[in-house]
Amino acid sequence: MPPLTVTQPHLPPLEEFIPYLEAIWDRRVLTNGGPMHQQLEAALCAYLGVPHISLFANGTAALLTAVQALELSGEVITTPFSFVAGAHALLWNGLTPVFADIDPETLNLDPARIEAAVTERTTGIMPVHCYGNPCDLAAIERIARARGLRVLYDAAHAFGVTVPDGSVLTAGDLSVLSFHATKVFNTFEGGAIVSHDAATKQRIDQLKNFGIVDETTVDAAGLNGKMSEVNAAFGLVQLQHIDAAIARRAQIDAHYRALLAEVPGITCVPPSGQTRSNHSYFPILVGSEYPVSRNALYTALKGQDILSRRYFHPLISHFPMYRALPSAAPRNLPVATRVAEQVLCLPIHTGMCDADVERVVTIVREGAACAAHS
């Protein structure tokens, strides 16, 4: 039996993809904003309920370009409890990440800590909707407005997530998505920037194409962030299956929550105000009342070929390129430091059956029970 991994790409039947490949072969347009690319942008705007989307080769290139497009300078406040790509995008743009602590309930940036981290060098805030759970959008907007800051949401985990006002992706100035193979919606590799107006989208599209404005004009040091036609075509096929994939994830999520509800010391991270979740991750916190450590539980699962992941341990602020920053000190980040020691993301993907969920939970329960007898 293959190991049960934390995630697994949801793949459509191969035969559905073939006609799209044939169309690409016929046209010989392989990249640079071809018809598949344009169709996917339009289809995603309609599906997600957002005004403008620019596709990218991956989420990290999208983050890099989003930071560049917002013309940020000096310091940008962000979370240490995330994937390292976000802070790297700041560093690559010559900016200083300033880490602020997270809220113990949502595991997203704590607005009070954002406010306390603002200095006269701050030009932006880069929050992350961690695990697809929305940040405190209203509080962040209030802080940004009061201080004249730009807001770039790292929405890599938040494909299809909605809040009472609509898509979570329309909050802030820009939002960045990842369509990596490990994500709910994937194009093998891929990403996107959601923007509010046509002029911003046009600027982003130039920046992801070397900064080319026209045949004889290049006005910025843009990168090559373009998505190919094959990736875009795959996205068009995937989109036809996304609702079914999210619905299956919702069942797995509910099954885990029901079975884990009574396990002492295990907390399932609750949703944070979304009207639709995408169930992209299933994080639990292994608290001090649980008889064995998070790492011991991780190892026990691994021993049974269940590959859970400690997203996001270590904290970004722990890595050598960030460690010396004053804001990276663990005493500045007590909640994130504790959560990084407790968190474990259990497997959740459409390849799982109910018995897989039960197998995972049995091991979690055994961890609780074995120590109850010791």
Among 83, 99, 290, 322, binds ligand T4K (CB under 6 A): 83
Compute the CA torsion angle 302, 307, 312, 314 (nearest 10 deg).
40
In the window 25-54, what residues touch ligand T4K (CB under 6 A)? Answer: none
Q: Assign 3-class secondary structure to 90-132.
A: HHHCCCEEEECCECCCCCCECHHHHHHHCCCCEEEEECECHHH
Task: Find the Cα–Cα–Cα–Cα dihedral 28, 30, 31, 33, rounded to 10°.
Answer: 50
Q: Which two tokens stand for residue 302?
A: 């691994």
Q: Tell which one of 4, 7, 48, 80 touches ligand T4K (CB under 6 A).
A: 7
Does position 231 interact with ligand T4K (CB under 6 A)? The reply is: no
C-beta of 86 vs 111, nearer to ligand T4K:
86
Give the one residue of 191, 235, 291, 347 binding ligand T4K; rule: CB under 6 A.
Answer: 191
8 is a contact residue toward ligand T4K (CB under 6 A) = yes
Distance between CA 110 and CA 339 in Å, rounded? Answer: 14
Does residue 86 bind ligand T4K (CB under 6 A)?
Answer: yes
Judged by CB under 6 A, does residue 68 bind ligand T4K? no
Q: Is 91 in the site for ligand T4K (CB under 6 A)?
A: no
Q: What single DSSP character describes residue 351?
A: T
Task: Write down the least CB distance from residue 271 to ligand T4K, Å.
Answer: 18
**Contact pick of 53, 156, 292, 336 for ligand T4K (by CB under 6 A):** 156
In the complex, the smallest distance separating the C-beta of residue 36 from ligand T4K, rounded to whole angstroms, is 19
The residues that bridge with 167 in the sheet, in sequence order, are 162
Q: Contact at 8 Å (CB) between 115 and 142?
A: no
Cα separations (Å) of 235 from 120, 140, 213, 361?
A: 42, 32, 27, 33
The SS3 of residue 284 is: strand
Among 10, 20, 24, 58, which residue interacts with ligand T4K (rule: CB under 6 A)?
58
Q: Which residue is nearest to ligand T4K (CB)?
A: 59
Q: CA–CA distance from 44 to each of 39, 56, 293 (Å)? A: 9, 13, 42
CB of 245 to ligand T4K, least distance (A): 14
Task: Give least dist CB 291 to ligand T4K, A.
Answer: 27
Site mask for ligand T4K (CB under 6 A), range 270-309, x = bound = -------------------------------------x--
- What character string, x for contact with ligand T4K (CB under 6 A) and - otherwise, covers 346-365? --------------------
Q: Closest separation between CB of residue 99 and ligand T4K, Å? A: 15
- Quote the CA–CA distance of 368 and 366 in Å, as a whole number: 5
Of 10, 36, 37, 60, the residue at the interface with ligand T4K (CB under 6 A) is 60
Return the SS3 of 151: strand
Q: Which residues bind ligand T4K (CB under 6 A)?
A: 5-9, 58-60, 82-83, 85-86, 128, 154, 156-157, 178, 180-182, 191, 307, 311
